[in-house]
Amino acid sequence: MDGVTVTRLAELVAGGGVAVLSGAGLSTESGIPDYRGPTGRARRAEPMTYQRFVGSAAARQRYWARSHVGWRQMGQARPNAGHRAVAELERRGLVAGIVTQNVDGLHQAAGARRVIELHGGLDRVVCLSCRQRTPRAELERRLLAANPGWAASGLINPDGDAVLTDEQVEGFRVVDCAACGGLLKPDVIFFGENVPHPRVDECFAVVAGARLLLVLGSSLTVKSGLRFVTRAAELGIPIAIVNQGPTGGDAEACLTLDAPLGPALTDLTGLLTVRPAGSPAAQ
């Protein structure tokens, strides 16, 4: 661990007004693999697109079978030291808002409150007809009841999608909305589906109002996250990045730290003193 860089990061964060942008790398220490970091692995199944999901019963069967298996790991994941550190920084009045690209809900589970889930959350399911949202746990109970004796296992991707063969998927029964019979979809953004404009605008507002943008565990290789770094740079807002490996935003950053997120953020919180309520950073 580069103690000098962590100390410099603490000096930046100490001023408060920090907007956090987090990615899959923050959750790897909770047992959820990332896409491009040290625990990342090549996706062995083509990602589901919104168009295929709504247009094909076979595609929905394949998705829900894989997601049913993947949820066993995603649903049992617990916040790690990195999530807890971010929540602690928010509690101390230093973090003004969190924009996460993750769909695992671990920021909230760690106690963070001002969290915007850019891509939604896997812990919820939405009906595409009546738009009712229900807990994922409720759907899992219904899927288990509809598929007695069905069992499969496979490599888990960061979005909770397990890699299964056609033979493993065969025979899996999908259930529809209990309220209206409509198609159920996880409350996340699929490939080919746009993030709602109000949500994107809310994320941009968090960045624009920040004194520092702190990127945690994101490779920033896709526009989804990189656009917030670009906006911060345009506004002259300092950018600090903690990630394992290089990122697409390194050229814009005033500080980069290549280190495991949990230990680095734990060291960071240890260097910062608790701000009294009502201090400028807590506003």
User: The CATH number of the domain where 8 resides is what?
Assistant: 3.40.50.1220
Among 24-38, 105-119, 152-166, the minimum mean pLDDT is found in 152-166
**Which residues participate in the annotated binding site?**
23-43, 101-104, 127, 130, 177, 180, 217-219, 243-245, 261
Residues 268 and 165 in one domain: no
Residue 200 host element (H or E): helix 197-208
Residues 21 and 110 in one domain: yes
Give the pLDDT mean for 167-175.
Answer: 92
Note the pLDDT tens digit of each residue in 60-71.
999 999 999 888
Residues 229 and 148 in one domain: no
pLDDT at 153: 65
- The catalytically annotated residue of 68, 83, 107, 119 is 119
69 domain-assigned: yes
User: Would you call 197 a catalytic residue per the annotation?
Assistant: no
pLDDT at 75: 83
pLDDT at 277: 42
CATH number for the domain harbouring residue 136:
3.30.1600
Residues 93 and 156 in one domain: no
What average pLDDT does the structure give for the chain? Answer: 90
Bridge-based pairing state of the strands 133-135 and 120-127: antiparallel
For the chain, report the end-to-end CA distance as a whole number of angstroms. 32
Residues 248 and 173 in one domain: no
How many distinct structural domains can be found in the chain? 2
Would the pLDDT of 46 be above 80?
no
CB 242 within 8 A of CB 9: yes
Give the pLDDT mean for 43-60.
Answer: 84
Residues 158 and 260 in one domain: no
Residues 127 and 48 in one domain: yes
Pairwise CA distance, residues 14 & 55, whole Å: 50
Rounded to two decimals, what is the model's pTM?
A: 0.88
Residues 135 and 172 in one domain: yes
**Which residues participate in the annotated binding site for Zn(2+)?**
127, 130, 177, 180
37 domain-assigned: no
